[in-house]
Amino acid sequence: MTDDTKKTGLDRKLISLEEPHELRSWTESLGCSETQLRDAVKAVGNSAEAVRKYLAGDR
């Protein structure tokens, strides 16, 4: 997710941990803490779909 309207749809499918606004947006969207998000990305990569499944318990 991004505030940059010039980004493509791919941007919504990948999670970036580098930008504070993206961290905030993803933690709100996924209903998790920053630590949980970072752990999930470390475990399964930056695919939003994979992170959603990981956080839902489909590990």
Q: How many domains does the chain have?
A: 1
Report if residue 16 sits inside a domain: no
Q: Is residue 34 in some structural domain?
A: yes
Place of tokens 């695919």: 47
Max Cα–Cα distance, the chain, nearest Å: 33
pLDDT digits (tens, 9 = 90+) for 13-31: 999 999 999 999 999 999 9
Q: How far is CA 19 from CA 4, 6, 7, 58, 59, in A?
A: 12, 16, 14, 27, 26
Confidence grade of residue 8 (pLDDT, cut at 50, 70, 90): very low
Tell me which residue of 37, 32, 33 sits closest to 17, measured CA to CA.
37
CA distance 23 to 44: 17
User: Taking 80 as the threshold, does the pLDDT of residue 3 lie above it?
Assistant: no
State which residues form the domain around 59.
22-59
Instruction: Say if 47 falls within a structural domain.
Output: yes
Q: Which amino acid is at 18?
A: E
